[in-house]
Amino acid sequence: MTPEQTRQRFADARVARLATADADGRPHLVPMVFALAGDTIYSAVDAKPKRSSSLRRLANIAANPRVAVLVDHYDDDWEALWWVRADGSGRILDADEPESGDAIARLVARYSPYRARPPQGPVVAIDVARWSSWSAAGV
């Protein structure tokens, strides 16, 4: 895939998987909805039910900011398979920061359930350092 195709496929995806690791390197993987702005990926803590309000992804990013985000497409026609990965550094933004307001506005515009109940934050910001991709078809 070209760099443009890589970024477009990532931007068009509706869900991604966020990989974090704690200070000892123990991995943690969760699905997330997101918005892309340039080379920054945003996701926010929202009102969907969670086991705890103390989220491991937030603690992991605070302890070890290195993260990866993956989007992919599966099809029984294996010629249609592809994935895009963004490797970068995560930051946790308080809901009252201006960057958070912009991120939440992007998320609200992208996901209709957020229009009735916008996420309250905090916001995860991921500054992408490296994009990588693969496609079975080569494009």
Q: Return the pLDDT at 45.
A: 85
User: What span, in angstroms and rounded, lies between the C-alpha atoms of 136 and 131?
Assistant: 17
pLDDT at 102: 96
Q: Based on the structure, what is the number of domains in the chain?
A: 1
Structural domain span for residue 84: 3-135
Q: What's the CATH number where 57 sits? A: 2.30.110.10
Q: Look up the pTM and report it.
A: 0.92
| Residues 9-33: tens digit of each pLDDT | 999 999 999 999 999 999 999 999 9
